[in-house]
Amino acid sequence: MLKEGKSPSIEYRSLLLSRDSDSYDGGALPPLKAAHLNAPKRARSPSIAIYCCAGPEASAQVDYDGEMQAKAKRLVRFNAELSQPLRKLQDLIKQKPLGKKQTGTMMDTRSVNDHPAGTPQVLTSGDILSDYGGSKSSDAVIGLCQDMCPESEREERERKGDLDKYERLNGERNQTNKFLAVKKYNRTAERDADLIRPMPVLQKTIDYLLDILGQPYSDNFLGIYNFLWDRMRAIRMDLRMQHIFNQDAITMLEQMVEPAELSLDLAKMAPEVRCSPEIMFARNVARACRMGNYITFFRLAKKATYLQACLMHAHFAKIRTQALASLHSGLQNNQGIPIQHIVKWLGMEGEDIEALLEYHGFALRKYEEMYMVKVGPFCNSDTDFPIKCAKLVFGPEAVRKGDG
Amino acid sequence: MAYLSMGEAHRRITDYLSCFSAALLSQDGPSLTPLLLVSSNSPLLLSVAHALDVFSEWPRLVDQIDDQVQLFAEIVSPLLRCLQSFRAGQFAEAYVSFEKSANAFLQEFRNWESSWAMAAMYTVAHEIRILAEKADKELALLGKNPEKLQAAGSFLMKVFGVLAGKVSKRVGALYITCQLFKIYFKLGTVHLCRSVIRSIDTARMFDFEEFPVRDKVTYMYYTGRLEVFNENFPAADEKLMYALMHCNPQREANIRMILKYLIPVKLSLGILPKLWLLEKYNLIEYKDIVSSLKSGDLRLLRHALVEHEARFLKSGVYLVLEKLELQVYQRLIKKIYIIQKEKDPSKAHQVKLETIVKALKWLELDMDMDEVECIVAILIYKNLMKGYFAHKSKVVVLRKQDPFPKLNS
């Protein structure tokens, strides 16, 4: 059962807001305004709690020792999951090649650069191209970088003072070392093997990042989580450059929202590929996402492999916002739904459901169980609630949550 | 292959060169155009190509032409080489030569004040695209990188720039734009269309109405398709309808192409085509989809999508059609409502979720209460249904007045 009385979520919000807002007067809480949480068109919100919420045994135990155990479990599972794809790679090699993926996309990156001066400026579709990385052929790059951050990048960022708080040695802006620096996300995909981290190093890096997650809650947690989000993105990029996973399916899971090129990409695939399990999974996920069918989406997420879930996670926030908006529009005023249903439907096991609900303008009321109740308009429809790991919010005095 | 004497070969080549030179000098567009139609395999060009093979020293014949056009040799020599390569079925080489010729032609074209060579320029634009497509096919078969179509795109961007630069030539910009669209669509780089569209739509120098009808129809067809891709249905409707209305009714193939995209748009807006239309233009693949929307048969919709998956994906309408699911759900619930109304009008507006689950089961679709509630919520959210649901009693309570509004734009 949830702890009654002062909801930790209010504390959390006020701490968030005290960083930003001057207008907070202790009365009605203004909506969360952090510019960098507003993704321009695709509402991708940073999230690190991927390790917490995805997977069948999704409800993490949140008391302190339980935390440690849970974290250890996650690492074990994540390790298991990471070593799986190496076997998958063997399978991929045995099968037919997965078609000339995205000759379109790879030409995009080139034609952008090729236009002679004086011709009209060419727009790219932003996230789509940059995240894809535009690798030219189906040859995988083999990563050789043995550190969490390639040395050349480390040195350059030291020179420029471009070090995140968590990377600084003794708090110095211009000093880091290989135990602290973590490769940053770069829009342009470098194919230089020395800059790409192989699997074991990526695993180490993830371990390290998870450790940071385990640090006590501080009022700079926005800082942690943007840092972690960026570094995770870089890890995904390295994974992709090495073609470790079924690239088409990966890209599809990431590009779920963009209809135009997805349609053409699917058309280019041979039918066997299009109907392969990974692609079908990605398509079903994409369909659920487009329909706003949160039930199917989160059911798929719970069935997903850990890595698939990691990729889907980029869209969790958006789907949840839309789900709550839909439910909101279908409820009468002063009517509601038991929170435990919402937790289950939205895959929020181990996460702060109250904060999410309050953020969007629902009230929390206890009847025979806790309900989310519609009391007014839906708030923050265009700004997704940042998903956080439960323990970031609750800290040591965390409460055990039952399975939703 | 018929025997060709050296003398005859010589004559053919010099004839071609004199024609070319004369056309340029007298600014005779209609005479120039047929000389550029490499991919047409016209008897004239085939015979010239044959002659080139026989008379291998033809380059010096080019030099012998005393032509006042500065770049005459740069235009004509690569063009002749292209003819040779094309006839020999070496398309990548043909493309490379043609591109050289085209670049030289463009440079001269830039200097000509009037638009006498516009038709020739169109031909060059068209030919370079066709040659590039053939070249890329060949390269792909050889396991090489198919990059010629993209190169053709770059060339056309240059042409666009040249046309935009002179008042007399602006009218050609739309044709070039359409060639670019065809390239980008083929390459799958549809987002690159944006920059050209921006130029056409926003640059004050272009007056859309001044462009020839044929180009306007083509332009609206492609921009309409882009709107379909981006799921902006009202805009797609507007553009594709323009194309349909202004398209020559006798061009049935073109009408069919427009309808192929217009129909999914109309369906998304809740407008259903008549069966005769589908039959007349051979668009039967939409038949089951239309039926499913009429009857609320979700199973039929899904089946139709599977059956014609390849075709719908290729034309890029698959995702649009998939979205029709919501409308099918709406129709299903409406049918339940209508049936209930006949039985007991006073209670009709209350639809149990259970009933919907049963109806879906009857269609062999296994959905549970949670999912049905989710669908109901989405339908209400998207204004496909007016009412609310009561979670505890598992009922949808529909608004008494017009609970299933017409789809608005």
Residue A373 has pLDDT above 90, yes or no: yes
For the segment A5-13, the average pLDDT, to the nearest whole number, is 31
| pLDDT per position as a tens digit, B248-263 | 999 999 999 999 999 9
Interface residue B363 vs chain A (CB under 8 A) = no
Q: Give the one of B153, B188, B323 whose C-beta lies nearest to A264's C-beta.
A: B188
| pLDDT per position as a tens digit, B324-340 | 999 999 999 999 999 99
Q: Give the integer Cα–Cα distance in Å for A299 and A345.
A: 8
Q: Which residue has the tokens 């371990």?
A: A207
Cα distance from A294 to chain B (closest Cα, Å)? 7
- Tell me what ipTM this predicted complex has: 0.78
For the segment A283-312, the average pLDDT, to the nearest whole number, is 85
Cβ-Cβ contacts under 8 Å, A332 against chain B:
388, 390
- Written as six digits, the tokens of B357 are 């689950």
Cβ-Cβ contacts under 8 Å, B313 against chain A:
263, 266-267, 274
Question: What pLDDT does residue B398 have?
Answer: 95
Q: Give the one of B154, B198, B230 whose C-beta lies nearest to A260's C-beta.
A: B230
Residues 368-387 of B with CB under 8 A from A: 370-371, 374-378, 380-381, 387
- Written as six digits, the tokens of B165 are 């630069």
> A388 pLDDT band (50/70/90 cuts)?
low
Residue A217 has pLDDT above 70, yes or no: no
Question: What pLDDT does residue B186 have?
Answer: 87
**Highest averaged pLDDT of the listed ranges A96-105, A157-166, B292-301:** B292-301
* Domain limits, chain B: 6-200, 284-317, 325-398
CA distances from residue B54 to A347, B9, B49, B93 in whole angstroms, order as listed: 76, 7, 9, 19
Question: What pLDDT does residue B205 have?
Answer: 73
Q: Give the integer Cα–Cα distance in Å for A195 and A330.
A: 51
Q: Give the integer Cα–Cα distance in Å for A93 and A85.
A: 12
Question: What pLDDT does residue A259 have?
Answer: 56
Which is nearest to B247 in space by CA: B286, B203, B281? B281
List of chain B residues with pLDDT < 50: 409
Q: Cβ distance B177 to B193 under 8 Å?
A: no
Q: Cβ distance A198 to A142 under 8 Å?
A: yes
Question: What pLDDT does residue B202 have?
Answer: 76
Residue A244 has pLDDT above 90, yes or no: no
Q: Give the integer Cα–Cα distance in Å for B52 and B68.
A: 24
Residue A125 has pLDDT above 80, yes or no: no
Say whether A114 and B154 touch across the interface (CB within 8 A): yes
Question: What pLDDT does residue A59 have?
Answer: 31
| Phi then psi dihedrals of residue A44, to 5 deg | -85, 120
Question: What pLDDT does residue B39 have?
Answer: 94
Q: Give the integer Cα–Cα distance in Å for B147 and B151.
A: 6
> A219 pLDDT band (50/70/90 cuts)?
low
Q: In the beta sheet, which residues pair with residue B351? A: B396
Q: What is the topology classification, in CATH, of domain B325-398? A: Arc Repressor Mutant, subunit A (1.10.10)
Question: What pLDDT does residue A400 have?
Answer: 28
Question: What pLDDT does residue A248 have?
Answer: 56
Q: Give the one of B158, B187, B189 whose C-beta lies nearest to A116's C-beta.
A: B158
Question: What pLDDT does residue B141 have?
Answer: 92
User: Strand order in B395-398's β-sheet?
Assistant: B350-352, B395-398, B387-390
Q: Cβ distance B149 to B132 under 8 Å?
A: yes
- The residue of A106, A111, A333 whose CB has the most chain B CBs within 10 angstroms, and thus the best one to mutate to test that interface, is A111
Q: Which residue has the tokens 């007045």?
A: B401
Q: Give the one of A265, A291, A295 whose C-beta lies nearest to B325's C-beta.
A: A291
Interface residue B110 vs chain A (CB under 8 A) = no
Say whether A293 and B378 touch across the interface (CB within 8 A): yes
> A240 pLDDT band (50/70/90 cuts)?
confident
Helix (H) or strand (E) holding A145: none
Residue A203 or A248, more confident: A203
Which is nearest to A173 in space by CA: A185, A182, A165? A165
Question: What pLDDT does residue B319 have?
Answer: 87
Residue A260 or A314, more confident: A314
Question: What pLDDT does residue A250 have?
Answer: 57
Residue A378: which residues within 8 A CB-CB, separation 6 or more?
Answer: A324, A325, A328, A329, A360, A361
> A140 pLDDT band (50/70/90 cuts)?
low
Q: Give the one of B319, B325, B380 whose C-beta lies nearest to A329's C-beta.
A: B380
Interface residue B142 vs chain A (CB under 8 A) = no
Residue A6 or B73, more confident: B73
Question: What pLDDT does residue B92 have?
Answer: 96
Question: What pLDDT does residue A260 have?
Answer: 60
Residue A50 has pLDDT above 80, yes or no: no
Cα distance from A144 to chain B (closest Cα, Å)? 27
Which is nearest to B118 in space by CA: B208, B48, B28, B43? B28
Q: Give the integer Cα–Cα distance in Å for B208 and A249.
A: 42
Q: Give the integer Cα–Cα distance in Å for B211 and B221.
A: 15
- Written as six digits, the tokens of A8 are 């930790």
> A73 pLDDT band (50/70/90 cuts)?
low
Hey, CA dihedral for B368, B372, B378, B384, is it positive or negative? positive
Burial of B64 (0-12, 13-18, 19+ CB in 10 A): exposed
CB pairs under 8 A between A and B: 141
Residue A397 has pLDDT above 60, yes or no: no
Residues 296-325 of B with CB under 8 A from A: 309-310, 313-314, 316-320, 322-323, 325
Say whether A294 and B325 touch across the interface (CB within 8 A): no
Q: Give the integer Cα–Cα distance in Å for A325 and B334.
A: 23
Residue A76 has pLDDT above 90, yes or no: no
Residue A222 or A335, more confident: A335
Q: Cβ distance A404 to A348 under 8 Å?
A: yes
Q: Give the integer Cα–Cα distance in Å for B128 and B125.
A: 5
Interface residue B23 vs chain A (CB under 8 A) = no
| Mean pLDDT score across all residues of chain B | 92
Cβ-Cβ contacts under 8 Å, A265 against chain B:
188
Could you write out the three-class secondary structure of chain B?
CCCCCHHHHHHHHHHHHHHHHHHHHCCCHHHHHHHHCHHHCCHHHHHHHHHHHHCCCCHHHHHHCCCCCCCHHHHHHHHHHHHHHHHCCCHHHHHHHHHHHHHHHHHHHHHCCCCCCHHHHHHHHHHHHHHHHHHHHHHHHCCCCCCHHHHHHHHHHHHHHHHHHCHHHHHHHHHHHHHHHHHHHHHCCHHHHHHHHHHHHHCCCCCHHHCCHHHHHHHHHHHHHHHHHCCCHHHHHHHHHHHHHHCCCCCHHHHHHHHHHHHHHHHHCCCCCCHHHHHHCCCHHHHHHHHHHHHCCHHHHHHHHHHCHHHHHHHCCHHHHHCCHHHHHHHHHHHHHHHHHHHCCCCCCEEEHHHHHHHHHHCCCCCCHHHHHHHHHHHHHCCCCCEEEECCCCEEEECCCCCCCCCCC
CA distances from residue B80 to A358, B3, B177, B365 in whole angstroms, order as listed: 74, 20, 27, 64
CA distances from residue A371 to A328, A357, A363, B245 in whole angstroms, order as listed: 13, 10, 8, 55
For the segment A152-157, the average pLDDT, to the nearest whole number, is 93
> A43 pLDDT band (50/70/90 cuts)?
very low
Say whether A107 and B391 touch across the interface (CB within 8 A): no
